Structure 1
Amino acid sequence: MRKFTIGQLEIRRLDRLDILLLLLYAALVALTYIFKEQAQSYFLLELITCFFCTGVLILSPIGIRLRSIYFSIIWLLLSLLFIFNTHSIAWIPLFDFLLYHIVRLVFWTKHDREFIPFTVGRGALYRYISKIEHMGGSSIDKGYMKLLIGLGLIVNLICLMGMIGIKVR
């Protein structure tokens, strides 16, 4: 029996992949602070961290791990810590996190089940079978995945434009 909290977040222990992803994200965030004085290394690490977050949350089915309350809280804290970097792209991980949860909650309220993201690759969306949910994504999940990718692309472009000085009005 699964226990859910506010926002349909599940209370469950973190598995090995959860811990590995969180450690990798924490290492990337820590490295941006370590190399803050070296402009090229700092900027490169910031870009890598943002691409990692976008890849995990928006473009892959790994985002389904955000339904764990513990994973979500740790990811949120790391994203908030990452915001203290100076460039506007540092907001990408937080915005991607919030966007995923908004799409997830809208899906949950309309369909009364968990959103199962598709895998993005080679110009197509591939069905993902979740071992956690014991089911694969449907055409409804595919539509929401397209929405998530489109909105994620817009959010990321706005942050990148802010970084290079283009004002969005």
Structure 2
Amino acid sequence: MTSGTTPDPTPDGGNSDSRTESSRNPIPDPGDGPAGEDLAVALRIAVMRTSRRLRIEASGDLLTAGRYSVLAALERGPATPGALAARERVQAPSMTRIIKLLEADGFIERHAHPEDGRQVLAALTEAGREVLDRARRQRTAWLHRRVDELDDGDRAVLARAAALLQGMSAQ
């Protein structure tokens, strides 16, 4: 399949008519050898659907995807609202709202910036760490249940694929 015949992807990386694309691009059989663009399309769809499903299944009752991402960023250390907005690729007013909601829930706290009195730093609280850990455990548990349904051969394929995807995403 050439890129000229592929429908425009939706913002989440899926496809506006995923049933049509899935039927045209089944996941290639590894015995078929490299599938080039078809493999790239199949991987994109599989990764995006799995990512979306992890977000829906695992943390919808705990945190929105945006709040989860901000807490995960703050796990690395305190950050200014501007730095968080840039990292998350949202406008500053949107990040300010997220920070206020997380602060109201007790998941973060704001402190004066030690070098620039005009700015504040957002930092993760212990409650924030706990809810982040709980969301991660739920995500892992959902995926673990799916993996347990597979046979040993498929689990081995996934283990290899996970290593390859980690390497690809690090480049």
Superposition TM-score, scaled by structure 1 size? 0.39
